[in-house]
Chains A and B, each alone.
Chain A
Amino acid sequence: MSIEIKNISYTYMPKTAFEHQALKNVSFTIKEGEVTAIAGHTGSGKSTIVQHLNGLLHPSEGQVLVDGTDLNKKGSEAIKARQLVGMVFQYPEHQLFEETVEKDVGFGPRNLGVSEEETEKRVKEALDFVDIDYETYKDVSPFQLSGGQKRRVAIAGVLALKPKYLVLDEPTAGLDPRGREELLSRVWGLHKRKKATLIFVSHKMEDVARIADRLIVMNHGELMLDAPPKEAFLEEEILKNAGLTVPATVRLLTELKERGFAVDPAAFTMEEAARRIAKAVKERRRGTC
């Protein structure tokens, strides 16, 4: 089972003075259980792609198949296929609207006619997953929570719909470093524990390196690169043209390598980079003695 993007092109406002082709013949397949990161600068077409994944936009040309169903088809089959894909937009906390956390998270399932008993169960599970205590917060207004908490409640609202594929558009933007860390590990846990298929948009190559199996780089509506992060980070030129940077650890180690240290730059965490530097420093010392 998979999401197949087949040769899609998308043009905004066709046949007007504002006509703009946002996607040009893009193809890729997202397999169940994978974690895919999509990166690119503002206007590269990444948000346009993301909106195709659950049929918010339909391609001008080409097809999007979710578990084999074309989202552009009429009828209940396409609607069901769209419901398999949950979408967490940028700044999802701006979409909170209910009076209490419980009502906000339960809104989706209730709206789809899920029984009250099942809804309650899903709300508890979803809140538990994003580390918001049900008993403490269920009757609290979502607007009284902190920024990081609001975002996690908003994500719980999507999780309560039990999507098979979860799409997150820049989930960590604007969070403090710890908040970013917590959210990433929660999302990662969703994949690890529940085998969720994740697709996330991010500018932060450090985040990509930590959790993605695969990185798709977009530039001017075209797919420029589709590779595991470790390979993708070596394509410095493509990344640079796409307005992206390699992770800071890779940049630092590359610089040291050029200055004569025996280090392999493919390290993506601070600890790993420090370990490699320490090793190179000690070896160098031994060499010069």
Chain B
Amino acid sequence: MTVHGDGYMSFIEIKDLTHIYHAGQENAKEALSKVSINVEKGEFVAVLGENGCGKSTLAKHINALLLPTDGCCIVDGMDTNDVTKVWDIRQQVGMVFQNPDNQIIASVVEEDVAFGPENLGIPRDEIKKRVDEALKAVDMERYRAFAPHLLSGGQKQRVAIAGALAMHTKCLVLDEPTAMLDPKGRSEVMSAVKKLNKEQGITIIYITHFMEEAAEADRVIVMEKGKIFAEGKPQEIFARVDDLKRLRLDVPLASAIAWNLKKQGIYIPDGIVQEEELVEALCQLK
């Protein structure tokens, strides 16, 4: 991270954040323990970790669905603990959850996308413009008059993303958005997310159990039992095969094969995470 002068803040600054569910009660459970993370504007960050390690709890702090038990979460200079800022924060940070059927509320696609801006009391013409832009950005214009139940899972997730875009959100937090999708739906959602990140500079926080998806991020954060275990470029993280296996995770196929070949004495350069890179490296072998 570049060091700026005094007063510089990252887009998202999470400092010593602890979250305890049912705090003070008999069944109190610490889900996050002194977690600190900074995310820069326009960054694409993937979050990995076993079921129950605190990934979703962390995600829900970023748009103030949950508040820290201790520590703080600051989004674009606004503290989520400040009740007067909650709606501004939620407008800036859109959430997409795992189950596409739980987040679509209207009976027509375009009405669903318009729901957020309508709630803000934005004029009709402006809403229309935003809905058009949002559906175009996720390549769903053709389906604007469809009933959501006629769409595939991947299409529903893209409608959910469009709903956030229509709010002019600056950041998308996606919590296992592809877990319930077929392979085609997964690649549709992944390319929509990448496009929004590259072309519109939208900050992406992407929770997943698919290592191949995490390999596409700028930075990977690995969580373990409510703490940050490691963070770094995908190439750095996926070189730590033994650590990841111990954490119930995996590495992308290309990294696993590269690691295996290296152990057999075949020279493969470090930092391979994508299949094309592995194919190229093997073709270069003499």
- Judge whether B261 and A274 touch: CB under 8 Å: yes
- Judge whether B184 and A243 touch: CB under 8 Å: yes
- Judge whether B211 and A177 touch: CB under 8 Å: yes
Q: Mark B96-129, 1 if CB is under 8 A from A, else 0.
A: 0010000000000000000000000000000000
| Interface status of B78 (Cβ within 8 A of chain A) | no
Interface size on B, residues (CB 8 A): 39
Name the segment of A22-30, A111-119, A255-263 touching the other chain. A255-263
Report chain A residues within 8 Å CB of B217: none
Report chain B residues within 8 Å CB of A285: 285-286
Q: Mark A29-45, 1 if CB is under 8 A from B, else 0.
A: 00000000000111100
Q: In the complex, A172→B183 CA distance in Å? A: 14
Report chain A residues within 8 Å CB of B254: 252
| Interface status of B282 (Cβ within 8 A of chain A) | yes
Given the known interface contacts A179-B51, A244-B182, the answer about A255 and B257 at a Cβ–Cβ threshold of 8 Å is: no
- Judge whether B266 and A270 touch: CB under 8 Å: no
- Judge whether A252 and B52 touch: CB under 8 Å: no
- Judge whether A146 and B52 touch: CB under 8 Å: yes
Shortest Cβ gap from B196 to chain A (Å) = 22
- Judge whether A173 and B180 touch: CB under 8 Å: yes
- Judge whether B260 and A274 touch: CB under 8 Å: yes
- Judge whether A147 and B52 touch: CB under 8 Å: yes
Shortest Cβ gap from A80 to chain B (Å) = 34
| Interface status of A209 (Cβ within 8 A of chain B) | no
Report chain B residues within 8 Å CB of A146: 51-52
- Judge whether A42 and B185 touch: CB under 8 Å: yes
- Judge whether B248 and A176 touch: CB under 8 Å: yes
Q: Contact partner of A174 among B154, B209, B285, CB < 8 A? A: B209
- Judge whether A203 and B98 touch: CB under 8 Å: no
| Interface status of B86 (Cβ within 8 A of chain A) | no
Report chain A residues within 8 Å CB of B98: 174
- Judge whether B182 and A177 touch: CB under 8 Å: no
Interface size on A, residues (CB 8 A): 40
- Judge whether B285 and A281 touch: CB under 8 Å: yes
Given the known interface contacts A41-B182, A252-B253, A273-B257, the answer about A175 and B209 at a Cβ–Cβ threshold of 8 Å is: yes
Shortest Cβ gap from A255 to chain B (Å) = 5
Shortest Cβ gap from B133 to chain A (Å) = 26
- Judge whether A178 and B285 touch: CB under 8 Å: no
- Judge whether B209 and A147 touch: CB under 8 Å: no
| Interface status of B153 (Cβ within 8 A of chain A) | yes
Report chain A residues within 8 Å CB of B278: 252
- Judge whether A249 and B286 touch: CB under 8 Å: no
Report chain A residues within 8 Å CB of B286: 285, 288
Q: In the complex, A43→B181 CA distance in Å? A: 11
The closest CB in chain B to the CB of A288 belongs to: B286
The closest CB in chain A to the CB of B156 belongs to: A42
Given the known interface contacts A176-B209, A177-B209, the answer about A243 and B183 at a Cβ–Cβ threshold of 8 Å is: yes
Q: Contact partner of B261 among A144, A203, A249, A278, CB < 8 A? A: A278
| Interface status of A271 (Cβ within 8 A of chain B) | yes
| Interface status of B179 (Cβ within 8 A of chain A) | yes
- Judge whether A203 and B257 touch: CB under 8 Å: no
Interface residues of A in 31-75 (CB under 8 A from B): 40-43
Given the known interface contacts A270-B257, A278-B266, the answer about A41 and B27 at a Cβ–Cβ threshold of 8 Å is: no
| Interface status of A148 (Cβ within 8 A of chain B) | yes
| Interface status of A251 (Cβ within 8 A of chain B) | yes
| Interface status of A277 (Cβ within 8 A of chain B) | yes
Report chain B residues within 8 Å CB of A42: 152-154, 181-182, 185
| Interface status of B2 (Cβ within 8 A of chain A) | no
| Interface status of A245 (Cβ within 8 A of chain B) | yes
- Judge whether B249 and A174 touch: CB under 8 Å: no
Q: In the complex, A156→B253 CA distance in Å? A: 32
A-B contact pairs, 9 of them (CB 8 A): A41-B152, A174-B98, A174-B176, A177-B250, A203-B182, A248-B275, A270-B257, A274-B256, A278-B264
13 further interface pairs, Cβ-Cβ under 8 Å (given A180-B209, A244-B183, A252-B275) = A42-B182, A43-B152, A147-B51, A174-B209, A177-B211, A245-B183, A248-B275, A251-B275, A259-B279, A270-B260, A277-B257, A278-B266, A281-B261
Closest 4 pairs between A and B when the two form their complex, measured CB to CB: A178-B248, A147-B51, A274-B260, A177-B250
User: Chain A residues in contact with chain B, CB under 8 A?
Assistant: 40-43, 90, 144, 146-148, 170, 173-180, 203, 243-245, 248-249, 251-252, 255-256, 259, 261, 270-271, 273-274, 277-278, 281, 284-285, 288
User: Chain B residues in contact with chain A, CB under 8 A?
Assistant: 27, 49-52, 98, 152-154, 176, 179-185, 209, 211-212, 245, 248-250, 253-254, 256-257, 260-261, 264, 266, 275, 278-279, 282-283, 285-286
